[in-house]
Amino acid sequence: MEQGKLTQGPVGRRIREMAVPMFFGIAAVILFSVVDTYFVGQIGEAELAAMGFCFPVAFFVQNIAMGIGTGATAVISQAIGSGDHDKVKRLTTHSLLLGIVLVVLVAAGGLIFLEPLFTSMGAKADTLPLIRQYMVPWFLGVGLLVIPMVGNSALRATGDTKTPATIMMAAGFANVILDPLLIFGIGPFPRWELFGAAIATCGSWIVAFVGAFYFLHYRHGMLTNPFCGGLADSFSSILKVGIPAAGTNVLVPLSTGILTRMVSKYGQDAVGAFGVAGRLEALSMIGVFAVAASMAPFVGQNYGALKCDRIRQALKIGMGFSLCWGFAVASLLSIFATPIARLFSQSESVISSLTPYLGLVPWGYGILGMALMVTNTFNASGRPLKAMLVITVRLFVLAIPLAKLGSHWFGLEGLYGGILAAHVLTGMFALGLVWRFLESMEQQPTAASVET
pLDDT of residue 389: 92
Q: How many CB atoms lie within 10 A of CB 299?
A: 29
pLDDT of residue 450: 42
Dihedral, CA of residue 123, residue 125, residue 126 and residue 132, to nearest 10: 70
Read off the pLDDT of residues 213-231 as tens digits, 9 standing for 90 and up. 999 988 888 888 888 778 8
> Quick one: average pLDDT of 55-62?
84
pLDDT of residue 4: 56
Residue of 106 and 253 predicted with greater confidence: 106
Spatial separation of the C-alpha atoms in residues 390 and 398, rounded to whole Å: 11
Q: Which of 214, 213, 207 has the alpha carbon at shortest distance from 32?
A: 207
User: Would you place residue 449 in the very low, low, confident or very high pLDDT band (cuts 50, 70, 90)?
Assistant: very low
Read off the pLDDT of residues 120-137 as tens digits, 9 standing for 90 and up. 888 888 899 999 999 999
Close Cβ partners of 392 (under 8 Å, ≥ 6 residues apart) = 248, 251
Q: Let me know if 112 is exposed, middle or buried by CB neighbors in 10 A (0-12, 13-18, 19+).
A: exposed
pLDDT of residue 452: 32
pLDDT of 111 higher than 60: yes
Residue of 369 and 61 predicted with greater confidence: 369
> Quick one: average pLDDT of 393-404?
94
Q: Which of 104, 208, 193, 101 has the alpha carbon at shortest distance from 149?
A: 208
pLDDT of 141 higher than 90: yes
Amino acid at 419: I
Spatial separation of the C-alpha atoms in residues 181 and 282, rounded to whole Å: 25
Read off the pLDDT of residues 292-301 as tens digits, 9 standing for 90 and up. 988 888 888 8
pTM: 0.73
Q: Which of 19, 4, 74, 57 has the alpha carbon at shortest distance from 386?
A: 74
Q: What is the 3-state secondary structure (H, E, C) of 205-266?
A: HHHHHHHHHHHHHHHCCCCCCCCCCCHHHHHHHHHHHHHHHHHHHHHHHHHHHHHHHHHHCC
Read off the pLDDT of residues 144-160 as tens digits, 9 standing for 90 and up. 988 899 999 899 888 78
Read off the pLDDT of residues 156-195 as tens digits, 9 standing for 90 and up. 888 788 899 899 889 988 999 999 999 999 989 999 999 9
Q: Give the dihedral sign, CA 315/22/276/130.
A: negative
The secondary structure of 165-204 as a DSSP string is HHHHHHHHHHHHHHHHHHHHT-TTS---HHHHHHHHHHHH
Q: What is the mean pLDDT of the chain?
A: 88
Spatial separation of the C-alpha atoms in residues 130 and 145, rounded to whole Å: 23
* Helices and strands in the chain: count of H runs, count of E runs: 17, 0
Close Cβ partners of 218 (under 8 Å, ≥ 6 residues apart) = none
Spatial separation of the C-alpha atoms in residues 93 and 269, rounded to whole Å: 44
- What is residue 142's DSSP assignment? T
**What phi and psi values does residue 342 have, to the nearest 5 degrees?**
-70, -20
Read off the pLDDT of residues 252-296 as tens digits, 9 standing for 90 and up. 778 888 898 899 889 888 988 998 898 889 889 999 999 998 888
pLDDT of residue 95: 92
Of the listed ranges 104-113, 251-260, 363-372, the least confidently predicted one is: 251-260
